[in-house]
Structure 1
Amino acid sequence: MARTDHPRSNLSSPAALAGSTPWRERAFLSLKIAAEVSGVSITTLYRFSDAGRLKLRDFGGRTLVDTQSLIVLINSAKDWTPRDRGSEARAKRKEVAAAGLRS
Protein backbone atom coordinates (compact mmCIF):
# COMPACT_ATOMS: atom_id res chain seq x y z
CA MET A 1 0.00 0.00 0.00
CA ALA A 2 1.42 3.38 -1.00
CA ARG A 3 1.78 6.09 1.63
CA THR A 4 -0.97 8.21 0.05
CA ASP A 5 -3.37 5.26 0.11
CA HIS A 6 -2.99 4.73 3.83
CA PRO A 7 -6.13 5.80 5.75
CA ARG A 8 -4.09 7.92 8.16
CA SER A 9 -1.77 9.49 5.59
CA ASN A 10 -3.59 12.81 5.76
CA LEU A 11 -2.97 13.14 9.51
CA SER A 12 0.47 14.59 8.85
CA SER A 13 -0.95 17.54 6.92
CA PRO A 14 -1.18 20.88 8.77
CA ALA A 15 -4.90 21.15 8.05
CA ALA A 16 -5.62 17.77 9.64
CA LEU A 17 -3.51 18.58 12.68
CA ALA A 18 -5.17 21.99 13.11
CA GLY A 19 -8.57 20.31 13.15
CA SER A 20 -7.52 18.10 16.03
CA THR A 21 -6.39 20.98 18.26
CA PRO A 22 -8.99 21.63 20.97
CA TRP A 23 -10.70 24.97 20.43
CA ARG A 24 -9.56 26.36 23.81
CA GLU A 25 -5.92 25.85 22.79
CA ARG A 26 -6.18 27.81 19.54
CA ALA A 27 -5.18 31.48 19.46
CA PHE A 28 -8.05 32.35 17.13
CA LEU A 29 -11.29 30.74 15.99
CA SER A 30 -13.30 31.23 12.85
CA LEU A 31 -16.59 33.02 13.36
CA LYS A 32 -18.42 29.80 12.47
CA ILE A 33 -16.61 27.74 15.13
CA ALA A 34 -16.96 30.52 17.73
CA ALA A 35 -20.71 30.71 17.04
CA GLU A 36 -21.00 26.94 17.36
CA VAL A 37 -19.01 26.85 20.61
CA SER A 38 -20.89 29.74 22.21
CA GLY A 39 -24.33 28.79 20.92
CA VAL A 40 -25.05 32.18 19.37
CA SER A 41 -25.18 33.42 15.79
CA ILE A 42 -22.34 35.07 13.90
CA THR A 43 -24.41 38.27 13.94
CA THR A 44 -24.55 38.11 17.74
CA LEU A 45 -20.76 37.68 17.86
CA TYR A 46 -20.44 40.91 15.86
CA ARG A 47 -22.84 42.61 18.31
CA PHE A 48 -20.69 41.46 21.24
CA SER A 49 -17.66 42.88 19.44
CA ASP A 50 -19.42 46.20 18.81
CA ALA A 51 -20.27 46.34 22.53
CA GLY A 52 -16.61 45.74 23.43
CA ARG A 53 -17.25 42.33 24.96
CA LEU A 54 -15.47 40.24 22.29
CA LYS A 55 -12.20 40.79 20.42
CA LEU A 56 -12.17 40.15 16.69
CA ARG A 57 -8.95 40.07 14.68
CA ASP A 58 -8.22 40.57 11.00
CA PHE A 59 -5.67 37.91 10.13
CA GLY A 60 -4.79 36.76 6.65
CA GLY A 61 -7.81 38.49 5.19
CA ARG A 62 -10.18 36.68 7.54
CA THR A 63 -12.10 37.89 10.55
CA LEU A 64 -11.24 35.67 13.49
CA VAL A 65 -12.33 35.58 17.12
CA ASP A 66 -9.73 35.90 19.87
CA THR A 67 -10.22 32.66 21.80
CA GLN A 68 -9.37 34.09 25.22
CA SER A 69 -11.92 36.88 24.82
CA LEU A 70 -14.54 34.27 23.82
CA ILE A 71 -13.76 32.26 26.96
CA VAL A 72 -14.14 35.39 29.10
CA LEU A 73 -17.44 36.20 27.36
CA ILE A 74 -18.79 32.67 27.89
CA ASN A 75 -17.74 32.69 31.55
CA SER A 76 -19.52 36.04 32.05
CA ALA A 77 -22.89 34.56 31.09
CA LYS A 78 -25.51 34.90 33.81
CA ASP A 79 -27.15 31.86 35.32
CA TRP A 80 -30.50 31.16 33.71
CA THR A 81 -33.51 31.73 35.91
CA PRO A 82 -37.00 30.75 34.84
CA ARG A 83 -39.59 33.44 34.42
CA ASP A 84 -43.20 33.27 33.48
CA ARG A 85 -43.05 35.18 30.22
CA GLY A 86 -46.24 33.47 29.07
CA SER A 87 -48.35 35.20 31.73
CA GLU A 88 -46.90 38.58 30.71
CA ALA A 89 -47.89 37.95 27.08
CA ARG A 90 -51.36 36.72 28.04
CA ALA A 91 -51.97 39.80 30.21
CA LYS A 92 -50.92 42.09 27.35
CA ARG A 93 -53.24 40.30 24.88
CA LYS A 94 -56.09 40.54 27.39
CA GLU A 95 -55.43 44.28 27.80
CA VAL A 96 -55.40 44.84 24.03
CA ALA A 97 -58.58 42.82 23.58
CA ALA A 98 -60.35 44.73 26.34
CA ALA A 99 -59.30 48.05 24.80
CA GLY A 100 -60.66 46.87 21.45
CA LEU A 101 -64.03 46.00 22.97
CA ARG A 102 -64.27 49.46 24.58
CA SER A 103 -63.79 51.26 21.27
Structure 2
Amino acid sequence: MSALLKAELRSHSAVNDGYTPWRERPHLSMKVAAEIAGLSAASLYKYADAGKLALKRMAGRTFVDTASLVELLQTAEPWTPSKAGTAARAARATRAAQARA
Protein backbone atom coordinates (compact mmCIF):
# COMPACT_ATOMS: atom_id res chain seq x y z
CA MET A 1 0.00 0.00 0.00
CA SER A 2 1.43 3.36 -1.00
CA ALA A 3 2.22 6.05 1.55
CA LEU A 4 -0.28 8.34 -0.18
CA LEU A 5 -3.08 5.76 0.14
CA LYS A 6 -2.24 5.15 3.79
CA ALA A 7 -2.37 8.89 4.47
CA GLU A 8 -5.74 9.10 2.70
CA LEU A 9 -7.14 6.24 4.79
CA ARG A 10 -5.87 7.82 8.01
CA SER A 11 -7.39 11.17 7.09
CA HIS A 12 -10.81 9.50 6.81
CA SER A 13 -10.67 7.59 10.05
CA ALA A 14 -13.32 8.24 12.68
CA VAL A 15 -10.62 9.17 15.20
CA ASN A 16 -9.09 11.93 13.09
CA ASP A 17 -11.99 13.99 11.75
CA GLY A 18 -15.34 12.47 12.65
CA TYR A 19 -15.79 10.85 9.22
CA THR A 20 -18.41 8.09 9.25
CA PRO A 21 -18.45 5.53 6.41
CA TRP A 22 -21.70 5.72 4.45
CA ARG A 23 -22.84 2.22 5.45
CA GLU A 24 -22.71 3.25 9.11
CA ARG A 25 -24.91 6.32 8.65
CA PRO A 26 -28.62 5.82 9.39
CA HIS A 27 -29.68 8.08 6.49
CA LEU A 28 -28.09 9.52 3.36
CA SER A 29 -28.97 12.59 1.35
CA MET A 30 -30.58 11.90 -2.02
CA LYS A 31 -27.47 13.21 -3.76
CA VAL A 32 -25.11 10.89 -1.88
CA ALA A 33 -27.43 7.88 -2.21
CA ALA A 34 -27.78 8.49 -5.96
CA GLU A 35 -24.01 8.72 -6.33
CA ILE A 36 -23.45 5.51 -4.37
CA ALA A 37 -26.11 3.62 -6.35
CA GLY A 38 -25.05 5.08 -9.68
CA LEU A 39 -28.62 6.18 -10.30
CA SER A 40 -30.43 9.48 -10.58
CA ALA A 41 -32.48 10.92 -7.75
CA ALA A 42 -35.55 10.38 -9.95
CA SER A 43 -34.76 6.66 -10.15
CA LEU A 44 -34.48 6.50 -6.36
CA TYR A 45 -37.92 8.12 -6.07
CA LYS A 46 -39.30 5.49 -8.49
CA TYR A 47 -37.86 2.70 -6.33
CA ALA A 48 -39.43 4.34 -3.29
CA ASP A 49 -42.82 4.54 -5.06
CA ALA A 50 -42.49 0.82 -5.84
CA GLY A 51 -41.85 0.10 -2.14
CA LYS A 52 -38.25 -1.00 -2.71
CA LEU A 53 -36.57 1.95 -0.97
CA ALA A 54 -37.40 3.76 2.27
CA LEU A 55 -37.28 7.56 2.29
CA LYS A 56 -37.53 9.94 5.25
CA ARG A 57 -38.44 13.65 5.35
CA MET A 58 -36.81 16.02 7.79
CA ALA A 59 -36.60 19.80 7.75
CA GLY A 60 -37.92 19.88 4.20
CA ARG A 61 -35.25 17.50 2.90
CA THR A 62 -35.59 13.93 1.69
CA PHE A 63 -33.19 11.29 2.99
CA VAL A 64 -32.68 7.65 2.01
CA ASP A 65 -32.68 4.98 4.70
CA THR A 66 -29.20 3.44 4.35
CA ALA A 67 -30.28 -0.10 5.21
CA SER A 68 -32.95 -0.03 2.49
CA LEU A 69 -30.40 1.28 -0.04
CA VAL A 70 -28.03 -1.59 0.79
CA GLU A 71 -30.91 -4.06 0.38
CA LEU A 72 -31.84 -2.50 -2.97
CA LEU A 73 -28.26 -2.72 -4.23
CA GLN A 74 -28.04 -6.36 -3.20
CA THR A 75 -31.01 -7.18 -5.45
CA ALA A 76 -29.12 -6.06 -8.55
CA GLU A 77 -28.69 -8.78 -11.14
CA PRO A 78 -25.22 -9.72 -12.38
CA TRP A 79 -24.37 -7.99 -15.65
CA THR A 80 -24.34 -10.12 -18.76
CA PRO A 81 -23.53 -8.85 -22.25
CA SER A 82 -26.51 -8.22 -24.49
CA LYS A 83 -26.94 -9.99 -27.80
CA ALA A 84 -28.94 -7.04 -29.17
CA GLY A 85 -25.91 -5.45 -30.83
CA THR A 86 -25.00 -8.67 -32.63
CA ALA A 87 -28.54 -9.09 -33.95
CA ALA A 88 -28.71 -5.45 -35.07
CA ARG A 89 -25.40 -5.69 -36.95
CA ALA A 90 -26.54 -8.87 -38.68
CA ALA A 91 -29.83 -7.23 -39.72
CA ARG A 92 -27.97 -4.19 -41.13
CA ALA A 93 -25.60 -6.46 -43.06
CA THR A 94 -28.56 -8.37 -44.50
CA ARG A 95 -30.32 -5.14 -45.57
CA ALA A 96 -27.08 -3.81 -47.10
CA ALA A 97 -26.57 -7.05 -49.06
CA GLN A 98 -30.17 -6.94 -50.31
CA ALA A 99 -29.76 -3.30 -51.38
CA ARG A 100 -26.64 -4.17 -53.40
CA ALA A 101 -28.37 -7.08 -55.14
TM-score w.r.t. the length of structure 1 is 0.67
**Paired position in structure 2 for 1:4:** none
CA distance in 2, matches of 1:76, 1:39: 14
Question: By how many angstroms is 1:87 displaced?
Answer: 2.9
Amino acid at match of 1:49: A
Unaligned runs of 5+ in 1: 1-15
CA distance in 1, matches of 2:36, 2:63: 14
CA distance in 1, matches of 2:57, 2:33: 15
**Paired position in structure 1 for 2:74:** 75
Distance 1:88-1:47 versus aligned 2 partners, 3 A rule: farther
**Paired position in structure 2 for 1:26:** 25
SS in 2 for 1:53: coil
Distance 1:48-1:91 versus aligned 2 partners, 3 A rule: farther
Question: By how many angstroms is 1:61 displaced?
Answer: 1.7
CA distance in 2, matches of 1:50, 1:85: 30
SS in 1 for 2:51: coil
Distance 1:56-1:92 versus aligned 2 partners, 3 A rule: farther
Amino acid at match of 2:85: G
State the 4+ residue runs in structure 1 displaced beyond 4 angstroms: 90-95
**Paired position in structure 2 for 1:47:** 46
1:43-71 deviation line (CA, Å, top 9, x unaligned): 11111111111011101221000000000
TM-score w.r.t. the length of structure 2 is 0.68
Number of residue pairs the alignment of both structures matches? 81
Which of the two has higher C-alpha Rg?
Answer: 1
SS in 1 for 2:62: strand
1:32-91 deviation line (CA, Å, top 9, x unaligned): 000111111111111111111101110122100000000000011111111212134446
